[in-house]
Amino acid sequence: MHKLVLASNNAGKVKEFQALLAPLNFEVIPQGVLGIPAAEEPHHTFVENALAKARHASSASGLPALADDSGICAHALDGRPGVHSARYAGEPANDLANNRKLISELNNQSDRSAHYVCALVLVNSADDPNPMIVESSWYGVIVDEAKGTNGFGYDPHFFLPELNLTAAELDPAQKNSISHRGQALRELMSQLQTRV
């Protein structure tokens, strides 16, 4: 079984990864279990931040590390909140406050389209010169009214027209089967198979 540190302190993400990786041959250790604090995320792109998180967790643990940097990009807002999604309304991170801010910024905007982005980086070691990097998107529409209690973050306001449901109304397995994170992880795993 491959041992992997999951470079995230977000409980919602950790749950999704545990479900996605459970059928595979991985022992996934969330970095919080090892007492590894959050890395700095100073960069302008999801990929750069995911790489920083993965290197940080691998350096602190001495193990291979998988990091996720993700967020939601509203098209009428030039991609905001983007890499600032977790703390859009300020510190400490607060999903309710972030959603309120997003909805208020979209007030009077007719274009409600948005996409989630998930960048995943897998490093074998802290100074791995050839990390595996994938990025996937998931398209939807931001709605004013929150619906559903599953998921986390912006999910209650992320509406999927083709399903007539928000992401928070999907059960966890359904979300993982179509989400930015599920898509990215499946792509990463298929790339990983070609390497070993």
Ligand X SMILES: O=P(O)(O)OP(=O)(O)OP(=O)(O)OC[C@H]1O[C@@H](n2cnc3c(O)ncnc32)[C@H](O)[C@@H]1O
Kindly tell me which of 20 and 86 has the beta carbon lying closer to Mg ion.
86
What is the C-alpha separation between 140 and 113, in angstroms, rounded? Answer: 6
The span of 17-25, 69-77, 107-115, 185-193 binding ligand X (CB under 6 A) equals 69-77
Residue 182 found at the interface with ligand X (CB under 6 A): no
Least separation in angstroms between residue 77's CB and ligand X is: 14
Per-residue interface string for the shown chain with Mg ion, residues 77-96, x marking contact by CB under 5 A: ---------x----------
Nearest alpha carbon to residue 121 among 56, 36, 42, 44: 56
Interface residue with ligand X among 4, 28, 51, 69 (CB under 6 A) is 69
69 part of the active site? yes
* Of the candidate residues 154, 166, 170, 176, the single one contacting ligand X (CB under 6 A): 154
| Sequential DSSP letters for 123-185 | ESSTT-SS-EEEEEEEEEEE-SS---SSS-TTGGGEEETTTTEEGGGS-HHHHHHHSHHHHHH
Tokens standing for 121? 């980086």
Of 20-28, 65-73, 125-133, 182-190, the window that binds ligand X (rule: CB under 6 A) is 65-73
In this complex, which beta carbon is closest to ligand X, that of residue 33 or of residue 108?
33
- Has 173 been labeled as part of a binding site? no
| DSSP annotation of 105 | H
Q: Is 136 in the site for ligand X (CB under 6 A)?
A: no
The reply to whether 179 sits near ligand X by the rule CB under 6 A is yes
Nearest to 159 by CA among 180, 184, 139: 139
Work out the angle between the directed axes of helices 11-21 and 180-195 (0-180°, nearest 10).
50
Q: Which of 69, 127, 128, 171 is catalytic?
A: 69
Q: How far apart are the first and last CA of the chain?
A: 14
Positions annotated as catalytic residues are: 69
Interface residues toward Mg ion, by CB under 5 A: 86
